[in-house]
Amino acid sequence: MRSNRYAVIVAAGSGKRMGAPLPKQFLPIADKPLVMHTMERLHAFDSEMNLLLVLHPDYMTYWNECVLQHGFKITHSVVAGGEERFHSVKCALNTIADMNAVVGVHDGVRPFVSFETLARCYEQAETSGTAVPVIPVNDSLREVIGVTNRAVERSQFRIVQTPQCFRMDILRSAFHQPYTTAFTDDASVVEAAGYSIHLVEGNRDNVKITTPEDLLRAEWLLGRA
């Protein structure tokens, strides 16, 4: 029997890099907040998936207003986030009791994850406990060492995306570790707890909307759909 599936949608950041008055996950594209597009994509992939949206406590009321204003019907729970992404994920995990569930942690600002990527992530995590989507590096890379720098072999590196999927018992034990700044994503937390990370193919469109240029491109892609 297939495990229950959860998606923890992290959207509790302040989105400083965009320089906009609203955090980027709430910026309207194609007439609704960016994070609604992300949630619609996850729901369209698997309508039985449990959606947990993690928000900054200051934006809870704002979100409720958005839900009403846009007639957003997808069932979801809202969880208050924490200081760093790590703490926000941990707050959501504290609400999941089913240790056999497969939990994907997905950035609220990645609305272009493909159904194929989602299937690869959830299916791989079901069989091996961990699954992280990656894509190859197209650009050349240089390593900066103090005041010097040198070329590195780009074929040895991958760009990491979300959803990062894990069996819940693995996530629960990994997130018991004390926070360090090295925890930039969930794979780094799970790896530090001693588990190996299985890589699956991501999709190149699955970008994290970060800059005003990303937002314009997203507007074009979503408006066109």
Residues in contact with ligand C5P by CB under 6 A are 10-13, 25, 54, 81-85, 88, 107-109
Least distance to ligand C5P, CB of residue 147, Å: 28
Structure token pair of residue 12: 């509790």
Least distance to ligand C5P, CB of residue 37, Å: 13
Whichever of 3 and 179 has its CB closer to ligand C5P, that residue is: 179
Whichever of 102 and 160 has its CB closer to ligand C5P, that residue is: 160
Whichever of 58 and 127 has its CB closer to ligand C5P, that residue is: 58
Whichever of 69 and 184 has its CB closer to ligand C5P, that residue is: 184
CA angle 94, 190, 132 (to 5 degrees): 105
Task: Give the residue carrying structure tokens 């980027």.
Answer: 24
Least distance to ligand C5P, CB of residue 143, Å: 22
Least distance to ligand C5P, CB of residue 179, Å: 11
